[in-house]
Amino acid sequence: MEEKTVLTDQDYKDGQLLLFDKPMEWSSFQLVNKVRWLIRKNLNIKKIKVGHAGTLDPLATGLMIICTGKFTKRIHEFMGQEKEYTGTVMLGGTTPSYDLETEVDQTFPIDHITEEAVYAFAKAYQGNIQQRPPVFSALKKDGKRLYEYARAGEEVEIPTREITIYDFEITRIAFPEIDFKVRCSKGTYIRSLAYDMGKGLQSGAHLTVLKRTKIGKYSVDNAQDLTSFEQSFDTSVES
């Protein structure tokens, strides 16, 4: 018989680093709120600081680092670390959001695209890159979120910014789909990478699958889901 190690309210206030595998269609904000609610409910805490070290889009899954208590002061430390993602790009069509959050608005031919061209694009799209963030993003311009402009149908000029792609590996080609793995710096938009791939291949493209697999030394392989986190408050004895 082995007794579980159960964290106390003081443990969470002193600071915990929690690894979660964010579920599909949950916003990062929703996940943080749920974790905060579970801690408060199970430990009868009136107030506890909880924050995340890097947003994931609702349609993305994978690793999120959530910090509690005093560890929230270290969030920027984790946000600045290298990220790794896997995903799928769909060739032949663009969407305003660069992913499946919005419908395809333009279609393009793909018959001219070869496997060699895909590998060549991935090889060229490495190092320091000037990338333009999607208009459907939470970045601010003139005090307003970019997605607010987009949803209102307003045109807005979005400047490029420098990001770093450390490694861009094509893991499967089954036209019109391309699977990839990428290691990149803070501030990289994988949706923009998908859009840029479409343009670079003289076509169009959007992101259909995205999973964050690593942040620095932390891996989604060691992450928990909400069910296991909720069960961690159970003080019963297990065999």
Distance of CA 41 to the CA centre of its chain: 28
In the chain, the amino acid numbered 83 is K
Query: Burial code of 11-36, b = ≥16 C-beta within 10 A, e = fewer?
Result: ebbeebebbbbbeeebebeebbebbb
Q: What SS3 class is residue 111?
A: coil
Catalytic residue among 14, 21, 57, 167: 57
209 CB-near residues (< 8 Å, 6+ apart):
86, 87, 88
Q: Is the peptide bond before 176 cis (omega within 30 degrees of 0)?
A: yes
Q: In Å, what is the CA distance from 203 to each residue of 92, 98, 113?
A: 6, 14, 8
Looking only at the bridges linking them, the beta strands covering 83-91 and 177-184 are antiparallel
In the chain, the amino acid numbered 132 is R
Contact 121, 200 (CB under 8 A): yes
Let me know if 57 is a catalytic residue. Answer: yes
Query: Which residues is 2 bridged to in the sheet?
Result: 238
Q: Active-site residue numbers?
A: 57
